[in-house]
A and B are shown apart, each in its own frame.
Chain A
Amino acid sequence: MNFFRRLRYLFRRQATEAEMAEEMRFHLEQRMADKLDDGLSPEEASFAAQRKFGNLARIQEQAREAHGWGWLERLLKDLHFAARQFVRSPGFSLLAIVTLGLGIGANTAMFSVLNGVLLKPLPYANLSQLDRLYRATPQNREGHISPADFRELQQTKDAYGDVAAYTPANVSLSEPGHPAEMAYSARATSNLFSLLGVRPQLGRDFRPAEDNPGRDRVVILSQRTWQKRFGGSPDVIGRTIRIDGEPHVAIGVMSASFNDWRFLGGVDFFRPLAFSAEQANDRTSVMLRVIGRRTATLTPGNADRFIANFGARLAQEFPEANAETNWRRVTLQSVAAGPGAVTVLPMLIGLSGLVLLIACSNLANLLLARTMTRAREFAVRAALGASRTQLLRPLIAESLLLALAGGLLALLVAEWFGDWAAMRSTGDNGEQVNFIVDWGVMTWAFAASLATALAFGLAPALFALRLDLNATLKSGGRGTTGGRGHQRFRQFLIVGQFALAMVLLAGAGIYIGGLRDLDNRRSGWESRQLVTATIALPAGTYRDAAKITAFHRLALERLAALPGVASVSLSSFTPSFIWPEIRKFIVDGQDRPATGREPAAVVNSVSSQYFSTFGTRVLSGRAFHERDTAGSTRVFIINQAATRGLFGEQNPIGRRIAQADGDKPRWGEIVGVVNDVQSVVPEANPVVFQIYQPMAQEPRRENEIAVRATDVAPATLVDSIRAVMTELNPDLPVSKLQPADTTIYRVNYQNRVLRDMLAAFGILGLALASLGIYGVIARTVAQRTGEFAIRLALGASVRDIVRLVLGSGVRLALVGSAVGLLGAIGVARLLAAVYPSLPTNSPLILAVTTLVLVAVALLACWLPARRAGKVDAMGALRAE
């Protein structure tokens, strides 16, 4: 009731004010009439009445206060006044708003990343019960799980809960009338969706029986695939889609929210995961990604223990497959962020915090300077009896206005950043990250902005309150210089800014340099003149090894015959990227290590021309040749690291190695040693032993094609390569058919997004710091005009003055850079820890960064210094 009455007053203020005035007038007239009755003359009566009534305006003011909106009215008035102040000094206002907006904006953008990656829940029911289960090996803490192990895990339903598994693969999609395309598919146990608590938006979920071989020819489409390939038509349900050359019936379409980029977002098709009898008992093919839903009663701690015990039992019972493995459990939500999130996100937030700190100290300097110029005004107002609150109020209002403008700008920055990040980090399959500006981000922006603006708006205000009235008023114009401590505080801010800018710039520099080295790393191989492509032979057409090998031979033959082609190879992997296949080996004639503790190596199946095509040098022995076939002796080629590790100084040629599975090793002879290769991908714990085997002795359906051009531009070969492949099999999708360097450059795209963010922080930090030093030096010069005039009058040259000013500024920058150097070394260490294979040891970059900072400081000081040299000595002295 009360509140509404107040509201009504707020909106009917004009009318209410008029009523109030009328009421007062009535009162006055009545009193006059009273006085007239007492026998006074009209003038006397009027005078007496008014005297009695007192100050009408003041009464009205008090009455207005009674209406309860006084504070709001005052605030609006203060804001209005503050806005006028801002408009009066547009330079200051713009600088302050932009400084605050950029500082908070950088911070808010990073918060939107944190929000989008970590805080926003995945779109699944009862998310807290969902786990991702890993079988950690010494090489890989996030190792996958074999079908046999998974089937044992399924038996623990009562103790742990439900589990589901999926395994992704590239498949070929060949609709009649369309060129064959490669798609990203996942085979999933039929309970995956129900376990996640999601249902297809259209059609139905998998049925349990569809987990069986022969009944698994059904497919559920992702929303994106449905829209992109099938035009979003509901008729798709029941349609036949040819995947890997085999007809599948479309039974469902997932919803758009299921396309979360953090988990399963890149998958185009889901098919049931049916194990053949042989697969079901396979303990060595670790290919399943396993998700669990804990029973509601199982606490996370007990679940951890259960999973660890389960893994320990497997390791004990099946050591040949599971020795040295540990099972572990993490929440699905934490996995969604990706392994880098835990290290990279805090780093980004921290660095954006440094930008904000620089912005804040700039702001502090700006506002402090402004308060100082108004010190006299404050002193006068205080002397006239303004209360503490009355003095503070306009300053608070200015801070509020500043916070509002800065917050808005920050939101714009965050919004723009979200678009940029989405554009820059679109995945190969069109999945996009989305960092949206939601309520949380908005709250963050305005809260941070308000806190910053109030802290730095009020600090100088409190400083102003401490002013010695007498001193300020007496000292005239020079009351604004500020004391020695004040001056020192400003210098401290500048030193701090440069230290922070140094950290930001050096950090960005180290990362940029490291990433460039990484992108250009062609260690043990080369990519010039190469065209590469990825193919996946449809399992339906190429059922057995003989069929696959026949295709390989034909393809190599036809491609080699193309004009302009120097050599051609097929392989499971290229040296440009990580080889994910890790196997364990034993050496003939050496003691066999304990089961499961055999040395591990990454394995690549390659065709005979592989080494010459990629330029990997054969150091001793021979390369593979066409006579290494399925029927001939098994042969291997190993790299230098494996040679050193397995054979020491001995000659490995002619020695025999075998894969460490089963009791009857299938020995193969080492026929050659090649140099080590290193990919362009930063890897935490790369497996250094690299072992090659002939493609014909273990044919694979997923292949990398590499074609080396003679002296023609590699791009010119693309069309003829595609023509050859289509001629061989029109159903075969050929993806990423382009010059190798194009594909390689693409792989680190996410790192380049990070690089650009770091670069932006560095540049922003430098810009803010140079603005800061410029501002402070310019003020100092203005304040020391008198001093310079005296110096000039006493015979100092203009150069002396300029040198004096430059020296004071550069000294600050140097001290700051030196302090920042320590921080920069810390950042380098941090980057080295996050990206172990990133080259981060770069004193050159630190040196260059220091030079850049000092150069910028010199420039920023030179402008005001020039002005100092031009001081009109006579004029300045006369003005004293």
Chain B
Amino acid sequence: MADKSELFPGTLDMLILRVLSRGELHGWGITNKLEQLSKSALQVDEGSLYPSLYRMEEKGWIEAEWRMTENNRRAKYYSLTRTGRKQLEHEQALWDRMSAIITLVTQSA
């Protein structure tokens, strides 16, 4: 198992939005997807996942709907709203600029 990394603060929202931008998912699905995409480098703590989801739902970035899973189990599916999509673009841009700057500084120093 690869080293587990701590997330930068504030980046969880962006990652969740990114994962949801490919289609709707339930909470468990999001956890799995993040682990899978990060090749198990990221382990999302449920204690931060759900508050983050509710916060973003409050802000109207995502919306939720109760539906049946393939195994006929009721689950709450989250999907991106229009504002959420905009927010994702915004955060992505911010992140890109930030990481570019950090890379620049760390490499030239």
Please list the residues of chain A having a beta carbon within 8 angstroms of any beta carbon in chain B: 1-2, 5-6, 19-20, 22-24, 26-27, 29-31, 52-55, 58-59, 62-63, 65-68
Chain B positions within 8 Å of A27 at CB level:
27-28, 31, 46
Q: At the interface, is chain A mostly helix, strand, loop or mixed?
A: helix
Are B51 and A2 in touch, CB under 8 angstroms?
no
CA distance in complex: A52, B74 (Å): 22
Nearest opposing residue in chain B for A24, CB measure = B50
Chain B positions within 8 Å of A23 at CB level:
26-27, 50, 75-76
CA distance in complex: A1, B61 (Å): 12
B3 contacts A by Cβ under 8 Å: no
Which of B4-12, B16-24, B52-60, B92-100 forms contacts with chain A?
A: B52-60
Q: Mark B35-67, 1 if CB is under 8 A from A, else 0.
A: 000000000011100111011011110000010
Nearest opposing residue in chain B for A23, CB measure = B76
Chain A positions within 8 Å of B52 at CB level:
66
> Of A2, A30, A52, A62, which one neighbours B50 at CB under 8 angstroms?
A62
Chain A positions within 8 Å of B54 at CB level:
63, 66-67
Chain B positions within 8 Å of A1 at CB level:
60
**Closest chain A CB from B95 CB (angstroms):** 22
CA distance in complex: A24, B31 (Å): 13
**Closest chain A CB from B38 CB (angstroms):** 17
A sample of 25 cross-chain residue pairs with beta-carbon separation below 8 angstroms, ordered by A number, consists of A5-B60, A6-B58, A19-B66, A23-B50, A24-B46, A26-B26, A26-B28, A26-B73, A26-B75, A26-B76, A27-B27, A27-B28, A30-B28, A31-B28, A52-B46, A53-B46, A54-B47, A55-B47, A62-B47, A63-B50, A63-B51, A65-B51, A66-B52, A67-B54, A68-B58
CA distance in complex: A220, B108 (Å): 96
Chain B positions within 8 Å of A63 at CB level:
50-51, 54
Are B76 and A59 in touch, CB under 8 angstroms?
no
**Closest chain B CB from A451 CB (angstroms):** 34
Are A62 and B76 in touch, CB under 8 angstroms?
no
Chain B positions within 8 Å of A66 at CB level:
51-52, 54-55, 58
Please list the residues of chain B having a beta carbon within 8 angstroms of any beta carbon in chain A: 26-28, 31, 45-47, 50-52, 54-55, 57-60, 66, 73-76
**Closest chain B CB from A311 CB (angstroms):** 71
CA distance in complex: A1, B83 (Å): 12
Are A2 and B59 in touch, CB under 8 angstroms?
yes
Given the known A-B contacts A26-B28, A67-B54, are A59 and B47 also in contact in the complex, defined by CB atoms under 8 Å? Answer: yes
Q: At the interface, is chain B mostly helix, strand, loop or mixed?
A: helix
**Closest chain B CB from A405 CB (angstroms):** 35
Nearest opposing residue in chain B for A54, CB measure = B47
**Closest chain B CB from A49 CB (angstroms):** 10
Given the known A-B contacts A1-B60, A2-B59, A6-B58, are A59 and B27 also in contact in the complex, defined by CB atoms under 8 Å? Answer: no
Chain B positions within 8 Å of A24 at CB level:
46, 50
CA distance in complex: A857, B26 (Å): 74
> Of A2, A22, A58, A62, which one neighbours B60 at CB under 8 angstroms?
A2
Nearest opposing residue in chain A for B56, CB measure = A66
Chain B positions within 8 Å of A30 at CB level:
28
CA distance in complex: A31, B45 (Å): 13
Chain B positions within 8 Å of A65 at CB level:
51
CA distance in complex: A198, B99 (Å): 74
Nearest opposing residue in chain B for A31, CB measure = B28
What 16 new A-B contacts, CB under 8 Å, besides A26-B73, A54-B46, A62-B51? Answer: A2-B59, A6-B58, A23-B75, A27-B28, A27-B31, A29-B73, A53-B46, A54-B47, A55-B47, A59-B47, A62-B47, A63-B50, A63-B54, A66-B52, A66-B54, A66-B58
Are A54 and B51 in touch, CB under 8 angstroms?
no
**Closest chain A CB from B87 CB (angstroms):** 13
CA distance in complex: A5, B60 (Å): 9
Are A54 and B58 in touch, CB under 8 angstroms?
no
CA distance in complex: A26, B73 (Å): 8
CA distance in complex: A6, B47 (Å): 21
CA distance in complex: A20, B76 (Å): 9
Nearest opposing residue in chain B for A16, CB measure = B54
CA distance in complex: A290, B59 (Å): 66
Identify the 4 closest CB pairs spanning chains A and B, nearest first. A66-B54, A30-B28, A66-B55, A62-B51
Chain A positions within 8 Å of B31 at CB level:
27
Nearest opposing residue in chain B for A5, CB measure = B58
Identify the interface centre among A30, A52, A59, A65: most chain B CB within 10 Å of its CB: A30
Are A67 and B58 in touch, CB under 8 angstroms?
yes
Chain B positions within 8 Å of A29 at CB level:
73
**Closest chain B CB from A68 CB (angstroms):** 6
Chain A positions within 8 Å of B60 at CB level:
1-2, 5
CA distance in complex: A30, B27 (Å): 10
Chain B positions within 8 Å of A26 at CB level:
26-28, 73-76
CA distance in complex: A31, B29 (Å): 10
CA distance in complex: A24, B46 (Å): 9
**Closest chain B CB from A55 CB (angstroms):** 8
CA distance in complex: A29, B59 (Å): 28
Chain A positions within 8 Å of B26 at CB level:
23, 26
Chain B positions within 8 Å of A22 at CB level:
74, 76
**Closest chain B CB from A46 CB (angstroms):** 15
Given the known A-B contacts A5-B58, A30-B28, A63-B54, are A54 and B76 also in contact in the complex, defined by CB atoms under 8 Å? Answer: no
Nearest opposing residue in chain A for B75, CB measure = A26
Chain B positions within 8 Å of A2 at CB level:
58-60
Chain A positions within 8 Å of B66 at CB level:
19
Chain A positions within 8 Å of B74 at CB level:
22, 26
Nearest opposing residue in chain B for A64, CB measure = B54
Chain A positions within 8 Å of B57 at CB level:
5
CA distance in complex: A22, B66 (Å): 11
**Closest chain A CB from B43 CB (angstroms):** 9
**Closest chain B CB from A33 CB (angstroms):** 9
CA distance in complex: A2, B54 (Å): 12
CA distance in complex: A66, B49 (Å): 11
Nearest opposing residue in chain A for B26, CB measure = A26
Identify the interface centre among B31, B47, B60: most chain A CB within 10 Å of its CB: B47
CA distance in complex: A63, B75 (Å): 17
Are B47 and A58 in touch, CB under 8 angstroms?
yes
Chain B positions within 8 Å of A6 at CB level:
58
**Closest chain A CB from B17 CB (angstroms):** 16
Nearest opposing residue in chain B for A56, CB measure = B46
CA distance in complex: A433, B46 (Å): 68
CA distance in complex: A316, B99 (Å): 91
CA distance in complex: A65, B50 (Å): 11
CA distance in complex: A54, B45 (Å): 9
CA distance in complex: A68, B57 (Å): 11
**Closest chain A CB from B44 CB (angstroms):** 11
Nearest opposing residue in chain B for A26, CB measure = B75
Given the known A-B contacts A5-B58, A6-B58, are A19 and B51 also in contact in the complex, defined by CB atoms under 8 Å? Answer: no
**Closest chain B CB from A45 CB (angstroms):** 15
Nearest opposing residue in chain A for B29, CB measure = A30
Nearest opposing residue in chain A for B76, CB measure = A23
Nearest opposing residue in chain A for B71, CB measure = A33
Chain B positions within 8 Å of A5 at CB level:
57-58, 60
Identify the interface centre among A1, A26, A27, A67: most chain B CB within 10 Å of its CB: A27
CA distance in complex: A1, B58 (Å): 9
CA distance in complex: A501, B72 (Å): 79
**Closest chain A CB from B78 CB (angstroms):** 10
CA distance in complex: A619, B92 (Å): 110
CA distance in complex: A737, B33 (Å): 101
CA distance in complex: A259, B24 (Å): 72
**Closest chain B CB from A538 CB (angstroms):** 82
Are A19 and B76 in touch, CB under 8 angstroms?
yes
Nearest opposing residue in chain B for A6, CB measure = B58
CA distance in complex: A34, B27 (Å): 15
**Closest chain A CB from B45 CB (angstroms):** 7
CA distance in complex: A6, B58 (Å): 7
CA distance in complex: A66, B47 (Å): 12
CA distance in complex: A2, B60 (Å): 7
Nearest opposing residue in chain A for B27, CB measure = A27
CA distance in complex: A5, B50 (Å): 17
Are A59 and B58 in touch, CB under 8 angstroms?
no
Chain A positions within 8 Å of B46 at CB level:
24, 27, 52-54, 59
